[in-house]
Chains A and B, each alone.
Chain A
């Protein structure tokens, strides 16, 4: 019997994050998988701020995820080899700035053109990253990352890393929740429903969209940086359009209409991946069918 109060999304999220490892381990998977799920929950929340709440379909978030991961990696390799926190912060700041610049360019267009512009930017960035071998490691990617420790606990321990990640996820989710529940969030929904009307009501719609874009990019970027530390490796396929598609699929699958939808989507998507790939390499085939059915019948 769950009393009323714990139905608050953040409480559910907290419960979910605490219980997640047990669930994942029960299926025979690793703490690493649990951490990955937590990271993608975060990514989904950030992405949904743009998709579900503001109504902007972006194919570009692989770009933020991947470039922030590269930023964290490169910052640690070249400037702060003894710290994990500083590269993480650098990556977050970088993602925010990148979000602002790209958002400014991309939000000048609406509808399909907006989506295609994000697609173009991602594809463009992918090829630059892929080919700039001297800087980004090109096809081979970058390795040589270290997690170090925090408050005396070594982050190389997968369990510790999971809980630290989960804590970060929860805190940022709380931030996103505050945004969504604020007047800003209401304006975003107004923009989604009828942009012209919001503009007539006097809201500087462009600035609101940009704000949503930047926050979304930053949150997704944080996810990317955390993922870099999870895998201790970054490569160009994080910046790929297909990866953006996966983020989109996860969010839609879980449901973009609710706050926790993407969280569920991330969980289901990754569990599905892990479970089905135990049987067949073509897990995406089954996911694709499921996804198509979902779209047709919902």
Chain B
């Protein structure tokens, strides 16, 4: 029976040899955090440029996992890791061009409500196609096993996720800050009217960013499949957490999301160690505190359209 505060926490003060255990949970938390970052970055990008609160983000995450299940059967895990996010991105482009495009000029609540409906439809579709119970998905052969450093044990798979997440984040950063496309996106986030006044159409950027955003969600889905399993409700479960990270980090801020993801991960790690029943609640409490005292988030910027 888990209790709060946990016996481990109380013992920590008298027995310093428990410190590595705490450290292990913190590192675990950082790994979870890096995973949240990939998801939240996608959500934040879609929100920043398109102004759409994508309540279907979790659904794309789930679709990524389910598609990975199918691709993995034919092309192996690494094939799945590459192809599944691309497929999800393609679905994203279709949705954006067919539907979201019509909602841009209107009340922002409409985009939110539309994606809400989309999330419902997507989750139910997953249930209908693949059944209501979860699908088995195991860690690929090549990535099993653990790395042992003194007292600390890290599974190769989790380290791989960490590496992939870091690459994804860096890739995004490069895209946004070192390419002409990224320049258009950043300008579009700041002042879309000015961009249009300069004669640059934001439509390709909007579609591309939406595709990128949901593609990242799909990638996160693929990565999480061997760990958390593949089941229809996985999308809605992860959705609120994703929002939490985006809000803590600050709407519209790249490094804010990264920082927030790490913070949420660390806090979760500490809570799992010191007060296990509070582990899931801890991030929401963190979000409440941040919103009350620093509503723009840790590194967020003041955007009128959010307030």
A interface list, Cβ under 8 A from B: 57, 105, 108-113, 116-117, 119-121, 123-124, 127-128, 131-132, 241-242, 245, 248-249, 252, 281-282, 284-285, 287-289, 291-292, 295-296
Contact = CB atoms under 8 A, between A and B. Distances in A.
Contact of A291 (B120, B281, B295): B120
B280 A284 contact: no
Interface in B198-254: 236, 240, 243-244, 247, 251
Contacts of A127: 280-281, 284
CB-CB nearest 8 A-B residue pairs: A288-B120, A285-B124, A124-B284, A288-B121, A291-B117, A292-B117, A127-B281, A120-B287
A249 B109 CA distance: 12
B110 interface: yes
B116 A249 contact: yes
Given A284-B124, A288-B118, A292-B114, A113 B306 contact: yes
Nearest to A110: B307
Interface of B: 53, 99, 102-103, 108-110, 112-114, 116-121, 123-125, 127-128, 132, 236, 240, 243-244, 247, 251, 277-278, 280-281, 284-285, 287-288, 291-292, 295, 305-307
A285 B307 CA distance: 33
Contacts of B103: 295-296
Does more than half of chain A's interface fall in helix, strand or loop, or is it mixed?
helix
A226 B121 CA distance: 30
A113 B292 contact: no
A119 B121 contact: no
A127 to B, nearest CB: 4
A282 B306 contact: no
Contacts of B99: 292, 296
A236 to B, nearest CB: 12
Given A128-B281, A241-B240, A292 B118 contact: yes
A292 B122 CA distance: 12
A127 B275 CA distance: 13
Contacts of B295: 109, 113
**Residue among B119, B123, B247, B291 with most chain A CB within 10 A:** B291
Contacts of A288: 117-121, 124
B243 A289 contact: no
Contact of B277 (A112, A131, A296): A131
A109 B292 CA distance: 8
Contact of A295 (B113, B125, B132): B113
5 contacts: A124-B281, A242-B236, A281-B132, A285-B121, A295-B114
A155 B247 CA distance: 46
Contacts of A242: 236
Contacts of A105: 288, 292
B61 to A, nearest CB: 16
A121 B102 CA distance: 32
A209 to B, nearest CB: 14
Contact of A296 (B108, B114, B119, B306): B114
Nearest to B291: A117
Nearest to B285: A124
